[in-house]
Structure 1
């Protein structure tokens, strides 16, 4: 092929697969200039135009804009630099698509309506800094002036942190957490629960019963819970009755309805279901393993006393993740 070889715009289109209309646009923009024209004014292209068109088409398919392509063709920008920048842009797009997929899967799994789906999407679109601002505002509202700094520090060590590539489960958990953080009543509950835990003081009936009785009861409750014994079933009720008798004897009380109500009231005040639910959601969002020694037995005992299941049995959309990168910091979650 010599230097006099010329192609019509139609021939260029057939050889490259680029539409005639697009080639004409590239020519008008100076990206693929014609070598000359016929007497009738038709554009004729040199063989180099084939290579330029192939490169332009490849770069356009990779998502690179025409202004950048022009600088590459004019040797103003090295191709390697452009490729690196585009690869980073594509990575951002991939993360966005994965997040979108997680939101859609969470909406499908939870059976959410339009409003909650919109909320999930909006919350997951927040930047890391914006999500931290939500949790910081929550901490300020919950542990403002006059609150125990140790309680605030304990909660701060285990704040929810949605990863860049969350699962549908984590998206659902983060959405639920966001609702709790904006609830003034919940903030007050968590503040009181954290203050009690930070103080390290046992419940009144446990303080009276003594360490030996308390530790034995905790072991029995942990075994029942870890064996997935239904807290609303007959076996759990029998265990609860036995523990009521054991605590009553150690406290010098009769295991009657009054003592049972006293014990139940303490457990209910110390372990509100919403606070327990919050910590489980934090474990889910952060991808922590639910370690048995960090899961309190009091909520299970309370449900057994009341004879019914509770929120400790999470719904399908809020079940705890088994993906574990780490474990909660010491003091970051309620312990038995």
Structure 2
């Protein structure tokens, strides 16, 4: 070692128990700065270089990307921050692998004559998939006069999140849901959009409360809770139509809602139910409509 304490590229490689090629690569990437160049133009590295190179190699062995290592070494990022970001990245990669495995099993489990159709459906979604197409569907479906607050709230509740560890059936359900929402034309949406009401915010605020009560009623299995949810459900519709709750209104509402039911939305909620633990919005609405019909008939 010369008096200035610097190391040649070969000496650094030997001390770090690696190859000259590796030292040159990290040097070219800017992770291993040179202290100076010799009179012959050869690279020289400072005495801190072996420890720095060992740190680089340790982080690379764990899959930390070169830019992340650079942020840690030269830009003041803490090691804890680097580890946290790497764990997030690994979580995303594992989620993608779980979806790909389940997707392959969904293809494997189908009948041979279904393979091409399933491949086209499943191939149209990512791994893991995002829900932007489903959210776009709901933003187009909801009434134009609905406030942004309620539009976002309904959309968030109506769009099922992809399971982190899906079964093959769930992958196929999400693929079908994606196909249903992306194929919905404006004409198709108009045919199963909820009826226009004078006060959409009053309706959807009331429905939100009714669905929460219905969810609680199902979990506790208390008939009184269902009755309370039904009263709230009917009151929301009555306010939206500028009328009041009455036996006659309930009978008319039951007929109106049954006529407005659309196969595409029923299919949406069926598929969403395969992805969502608990009661979906569509499931709550169906439960309350059935309770309304039963109470109207009994009355």
Unaligned 5+ segments in structure 2 are 145-153, 195-258, 292-299
Aligned length: 210
Cα distance in structure 2, aligned partners of 1:53 and 1:103: 41
The one-character-per-residue Cα deviations of 1:8-64 (angstroms, maximum 9, x if unpaired) are 534543554543212023334553345677787655555532211111122334444
Tell me the equivalent position of 1:242. none
Out of 123, 133, 146, the position equivalent to 1:121 is 123
Task: With the length of structure 2 as denominator, give the TM-score of the two structures.
Answer: 0.50
After superposition, residues 1-336 of structure 1 pair within 5 angstroms as: 8-14=8-14, 16-33=16-33, 43=43, 45=45, 47-74=47-74, 76-111=76-111, 112-114=114-116, 116-124=118-126, 126-137=129-140, 139=141, 159=158, 161-165=160-164, 166-181=166-181, 182=183, 279-287=269-277, 326-328=278-280, 329-332=283-286
Bigger radius of gyration: 1
- 1:31 alignment partner, SS class: coil
Q: Is the 8 A contact 1:6 1:46 kept in 2?
A: yes
Cα distance in structure 2, aligned partners of 1:30 and 1:179: 47
Q: Is the 8 A contact 2:31 2:70 kept in 1?
A: yes
What is the Cα deviation at residue 272 of structure 1?
10
- 1:73 alignment partner, SS class: helix
Unaligned 5+ segments in structure 1 are 145-154, 193-268, 288-325
Task: With the length of structure 1 as denominator, give the TM-score of the two structures.
Answer: 0.46
The one-character-per-residue Cα deviations of 1:140-166 (angstroms, maximum 9, x if unpaired) are 6xx99xxxxxxxxxx999846142423
The change in CA–CA distance for 1:174 and 1:332 in structure 2 (over 3 A counts) is farther
- 1:70 alignment partner, SS class: helix
Q: Is the 8 A contact 1:162 1:174 kept in 2?
A: no
RMSD over aligned Cα atoms: 4.7
The change in CA–CA distance for 1:37 and 1:173 in structure 2 (over 3 A counts) is closer
Cα distance in structure 1, aligned partners of 2:38 and 2:266: 82
Q: Is the 8 A contact 2:12 2:50 kept in 1?
A: yes
The change in CA–CA distance for 1:10 and 1:163 in structure 2 (over 3 A counts) is same
Cα distance in structure 1, aligned partners of 2:267 and 2:137: 19
The one-character-per-residue Cα deviations of 1:229-253 (angstroms, maximum 9, x if unpaired) are xxxxxxxxxxxxxxxxxxxxxxxxx
Cα distance in structure 1, aligned partners of 2:101 and 2:79: 32
Q: Is the 8 A contact 1:10 1:20 kept in 2?
A: yes
